[in-house]
A and B are shown apart, each in its own frame.
Chain A
Amino acid sequence: MTDRPADSVLLVEDDTHTREWLVALLHRTQGVDRVHACATLSAARDWLHEHVPDIVLTDLGLPDGSGLEVIRLAARHPACEVLVLSIFGDEAHVLAAIDAGATGYLVKDGSLDTIEDHLACLRSGGSPLSPSIARTLIRRTRSPVAPDEAPPLAAAEPLLSQRELDVLTGIGKGFSYGEVADMLGMSTNTVRTHVRNLYRKLAVNSRAEALYEYNLRMAQTGRLPIR
């Protein structure tokens, strides 16, 4: 993305090795100008109080709180890309992060070596959408059975267009963007655009419900819910 002004990046990661590795990686990445790294929620909060980064990378499990808090703070700025750092890209955490306002996630495995590609990919279409997340999204649009405080999604106006639903269905079955594009007779870029829109819509529209659903799932699997 050479035509863009250089980005400033906020990295929130409590594991020292990972943080240092990522900082080094980001410094090598073209288009990244400044990198600020924090290890705690409070440090990130303080920093965000005075700065507006272009990109935020955050882990979810921080020693003094949840990374979702960082996502919410950063998501107040529409121009800011908020990415979750996830070990497996496991869906429960990623979904909660998306609902908090994240626009994508990065998987902390060897594939991050090419973080430049990832960032470019995020710019054009958000993170890859896993089948599991896609299916969760489909379920959510189909069943407006939500707690009282959450507005029913499919009530007045369907949240997703038919095309977006088709894309989601294809991804949900485990097909790649390219395969989905072939099946639906559209370009891979169009699929990416749909996916990006999906992230946006979901981040804006279903926070309360997603949090409820996430917490429900946490409770069912015996883990602590996110406040």
Chain B
Amino acid sequence: MRAPWIVLGLAIVGVVVLWLAQPDPGRAGARALVTADVLEAGRVHPSQPPTADAAWLPAPLPDNWDGRRPGYEGFVWYRLTLPALDVARPTLYLPGVGMNAELWLDGQRVGSFGRMDLPATRHFYTPLLFELPVGVQAGAQAWLLVAGVPGYRNGLAPVWVGAHEALYPAWRWRAFWQNQGTLVTVVLNVGIGLYVLLIGLRERSQRAYAWFGAAVIVWGLRDLNYVVTEPPLPDLAWAQLVVVGSAWFTALFAVFALRFSEAQDAAYRGPRWLPAAVGVYMAITAVNFLSATDYADSKVGFAPLATIGMALMAWSQWRLMHLAWRVRQTELVAIAATAVLYFVLLVRDFGIMTDTLSLGEYFLRQYAALPLFIAISATLARRYLGALREAREAAASLTQRVQEQAQRLEESYARLRAVETEQTLAQERARLMGDLHDSLGLHLVTALRQARSAQASPAALADTLQDCLDDLRVAIDSLDFRERDPLALLGSLRFRMAPRFESLGLRLDWHVDTDLGELPELSADASLDLLRIVQEALTNALKHSGAQRVGMGLRRVGARLVVEVGDDGRGFDAASASTGRGLGHMQQRASRLGGTLTWDSRPGRTVLRLVLPDAGAVPTR
């Protein structure tokens, strides 16, 4: 973690460089006037310079009104005796003058800044630069008319006179740091504050930052005091709001320090009463200061409330330091270090504000607050980025896990499919073997018996063997996975059987409905059952019926397919043993198919009818 040290080093170098680069008008040949004659002019804006015999009183500069004339509100004349100014552009530089000033020379007003009528515009933190007429004599007198209100460090700091080029850089330097720079910190603070506040409000786990965001916004608005010269509110109300803003900042920051410590350090539990007490403090400060009716009234209660505020601030800083000590994270150490810096400069500024004799100093806490605020915001930013990275990594690992799961699932599906295929194959094999055993095997046994028997004719043997071949062909046909609709199956069967009929001089008619519609795809088992039923019916008609014509047909009745085998033979008796057994087997196969087998047999007309179930109910693969 070298980055914080680099930042710290750069900051120190920057401060030193700024200090060294600060323009010094004394070295450039200008002179400081540290005494003046003073004349209080009352609450009415004078339109004429005072006469020389007025009650001028000598006074050292700085002349701070709070110290010299507490509660005074109105105008004060300062008379300065100018030294010899043998320069091209003699200039007067007022680093600290409040609130506003007019410059008179030889009884003439030669310049003014802002509105001089009461309430004067609030240029108490604005350095002024007046160019004097060329040829001002040594010992000439310049009058400065200063307008002011109590509580604003009004008065006049030592005045510089000299060449323009000696004074201008000093004026520009001070104007930049006091006015433009402060405005920059205001914008930065409000921006940071809004951003942090929104995140803190939206993100429950970072709620502590909401307090910080609110505090920083209040702080930034409060610092507008240095740059707003003509507030949109009554002067007093504005001044009191600024005071309340300081108090509220202190209060909100204390709650932040408490919540932040609790969030960072699991073992820490701050005082439970603190947030409520802080709320009370905020309410009291608001009521007390905003209810003030005049500047004198506004001082009431300031000291105790400010003391409480400083105590709260001290506690907050100590809290953050303690946290850094316990948790020892770089970012917490950075917060603690910047907090110390902030607090030191805050105390310094507080000392200046309460010093009623000095005037014209820089206030530093608006700058001192920036490192602290940036350090705190940086922790939030880092956490935010960390959370983003974690989310990204989590998403990536999630994607990977999902992929792995998908792959595992795919593998298990593949295994399942393999098992299923195996099972299907095993079932198919078992069915085929059973079928061959029952049909082909039986016929082969018959053929063997016929071959061994002396009585059996070669024709009968050939006939039995032909049965064997037919059985085998039908079994093979049932295995063709692309030929499993009833029309294809029966068409092939008809093709197989036709030569046997023809060789006996019989006709095998074949009737097919022209429009059969969508035909169901049967499973291998169902195909074989269908083929065996029809084959059996055809063989019976061929061998036993004595028929001249045998017909087979396939038609559609409603949603169902009807397969019929008919002949014009002598008919059969379903009660006879052998016929009964044959019909029984066919019935079995028909019920396996989910269909029904009926027959109608009388001499001259026998019809066997197989009604297949609806397409959806046929056992398919």
The answer, among A88, A110, A130, A174, for a CB contact under 8 Å with B510, is: A174
Interface string of A141-184 (1 = CB under 8 A from B): 00000000000000000000000000000001111100100000
Assembled-state Cα–Cα distance A111/B465 (Å): 13
Which chain B residues in 443-495 approach chain A with CB under 8 Å?
462, 466, 469, 472-473, 476-477, 479-483, 487-488, 490-495
Contacts of B492 in A (CB 8 A): 130-132, 174
Closest Cβ–Cβ distance, residue A24 to chain B (whole Å): 19
Is A173 touching B477 in the complex (CB atoms < 8 A)?
A: no
Is B510 touching A135 in the complex (CB atoms < 8 A)?
A: no
Binding site secondary structure of chain B: helix
Contacts of B488 in A (CB 8 A): 131-132, 135, 172
Assembled-state Cα–Cα distance A132/B473 (Å): 12
Q: Which residue of A lies closest to B487 (CB)?
A: A173
Closest Cβ–Cβ distance, residue A89 to chain B (whole Å): 8
Q: Is B499 interfacial (CB-CB < 8 Å)?
A: yes
Assembled-state Cα–Cα distance A189/B473 (Å): 28
Is A90 touching B493 in the complex (CB atoms < 8 A)?
A: no
Contacts of A130 in B (CB 8 A): 492, 495
Is B510 touching A179 in the complex (CB atoms < 8 A)?
A: yes
Is A88 touching B472 in the complex (CB atoms < 8 A)?
A: yes
Closest Cβ–Cβ distance, residue A112 to chain B (whole Å): 12
Binding site secondary structure of chain A: helix
Q: Is B498 interfacial (CB-CB < 8 Å)?
A: yes
Q: Is A221 interfacial (CB-CB < 8 Å)?
A: yes
Which chain B residues in 482-521 approach chain A with CB under 8 Å?
482-483, 487-488, 490-495, 498-499, 510, 512
Contacts of A91 in B (CB 8 A): 480
Q: Is A220 interfacial (CB-CB < 8 Å)?
A: yes
Assembled-state Cα–Cα distance A175/B554 (Å): 13
Q: Is A50 interfacial (CB-CB < 8 Å)?
A: no
Contacts of B482 in A (CB 8 A): 136, 139
Which chain A residues in 102-151 approach chain B with CB under 8 Å?
109-111, 130-132, 135-136, 139
Is B481 touching A220 in the complex (CB atoms < 8 A)?
A: yes
The CB with the most chain B CB atoms within 10 A, among A109, A131, A175, A220, is that of A131
Is B491 touching A173 in the complex (CB atoms < 8 A)?
A: yes
Is A109 touching B469 in the complex (CB atoms < 8 A)?
A: yes
Q: Which residue of A lies closest to B552 (CB)?
A: A174
Assembled-state Cα–Cα distance A78/B531 (Å): 40
Closest Cβ–Cβ distance, residue A146 to chain B (whole Å): 16
Is A174 touching B476 in the complex (CB atoms < 8 A)?
A: no
Contacts of B472 in A (CB 8 A): 88
Assembled-state Cα–Cα distance A175/B482 (Å): 19
Assembled-state Cα–Cα distance A139/B481 (Å): 14
Contacts of B490 in A (CB 8 A): 174
Closest Cβ–Cβ distance, residue B447 to chain A (whole Å): 13
Is A88 touching B512 in the complex (CB atoms < 8 A)?
A: no
Closest Cβ–Cβ distance, residue B464 to chain A (whole Å): 12
The CB with the most chain B CB atoms within 10 A, among A139, A174, A176, is that of A174
Closest Cβ–Cβ distance, residue A143 to chain B (whole Å): 12
Is B480 touching A174 in the complex (CB atoms < 8 A)?
A: no
Assembled-state Cα–Cα distance A78/B518 (Å): 42
- A residues at B contact (CB < 8 Å): 88, 90-91, 109-111, 130-132, 135-136, 139, 172-176, 179, 220-221
The 8 closest A-B pairs by CB, nearest first: A174-B491, A174-B494, A131-B491, A173-B491, A131-B492, A131-B495, A132-B492, A174-B495
Q: 5 A-B pairs, CB-CB below 8 angstroms?
A: A131-B494, A173-B491, A174-B495, A175-B491, A179-B510
Known: A90-B476, A173-B491, A174-B492. 19 other contacts (CB 8 A): A88-B469, A88-B472, A88-B473, A88-B476, A91-B480, A110-B462, A131-B492, A131-B494, A131-B495, A132-B477, A132-B480, A132-B483, A135-B483, A135-B488, A173-B512, A174-B494, A174-B510, A174-B512, A221-B479
- B residues at A contact (CB < 8 Å): 462, 466, 469, 472-473, 476-477, 479-483, 487-488, 490-495, 498-499, 510, 512
